[in-house]
Homo-oligomer: A and B are copies of this chain.
């Protein structure tokens, strides 16, 4: 045997040898141990009803399985049945607390339906989102809830054409899709409502701290609509990404150029928190000198001093709802129905910061 010298994973000697050395028992081992057929073993261990295996055989098989510590090989089972009993969450950034909350809700519902949950963090970059797509297309999961910033609908459709159920979270009312469900909140309306609330509080010069990716555009749209409607001049400042550090940087830059507004509306809570720390560093009091509002209502928002005014989407409920949609599609009677769009409510949470 000539060993091909390749990058192929299987040619790594150590792991392959080790795997073989400590082989896990298979149905064949149980068949050999009991003197019955592998078919019978499969039938018994899967509890296929009505059972065509005698009680005696069944008992011997179960005992042998127990004794050998048999665990089914999912790769093999999945290859055969094309079902994995696993769902995935694909999110841009686990260190943004809004996503763990979403996943928490998802997992609760997936668990109740007997599905495992896998989580994939894309970092919100085009490259890693493509890796997530590739991973999806390899058939690891039966269904997925995905938050993508850079993936086109057609790409997602291609990646999941193997039959993977999809719920996509959108930042605006999406076009109807035959192929998968979509959940969205009206980000523009939410941002507009928050801006209007700030205006009602007497603010005239309100800057928006936003970001070009993800839901940033829609939230800017809502802000602009409210400002225009009130005859006020919009001022939008762009941060690199939706992180606290980027928010602090952008706010500091704005302050250095002589910011004279009385309020800042940030496109998410992390940006708002960054802005708050920059404001404090520049000696501005919140909310007396500058009011601050955010978006997401992450758990931390109410713990800040002052507590952050923000927009809540109830992520926990959205996650739960998404998992339930997937399970219905996979196990329910409406497996084949066309995709639907589901709008979820938002809520303004007025706290001390504005």
Contact = CB atoms under 8 A, between A and B. Distances in A.
A78 to B, nearest CB: 5
Which of A9, A80, A329, A335 gathers the greatest number of chain B CB atoms within 10 Å? A9
A82 B13 CA distance: 12
A150 interface: no
Contact of A6 (B49, B117, B118, B137): B49
Contacts of A101: 95
Contact of A95 (B104, B120, B244): B104
A8 interface: yes
Q: Taking the full assembly, how many copies of this chain does it contain?
A: 2
A6 to B, nearest CB: 5
Interface stretch (A68-76, A204-212, A219-227, A257-265): A68-76
A201 interface: no
A100 B100 CA distance: 9
A299 B300 CA distance: 11
Contacts of A9: 81, 83, 85
Interface string A289-317: 00000000001100111000000000000
A176 interface: no
A19 interface: yes
Contacts of A111: 128
Interface of A: 1, 3-10, 12-16, 18-19, 21-24, 46-50, 69, 71-76, 78-83, 85, 94-95, 97, 100-101, 103-104, 107, 111, 116-121, 123, 128, 130-131, 134-135, 137-140, 142, 154-155, 158, 161-163, 165, 244, 273, 276-277, 299-300, 303-305, 329-333, 335-336
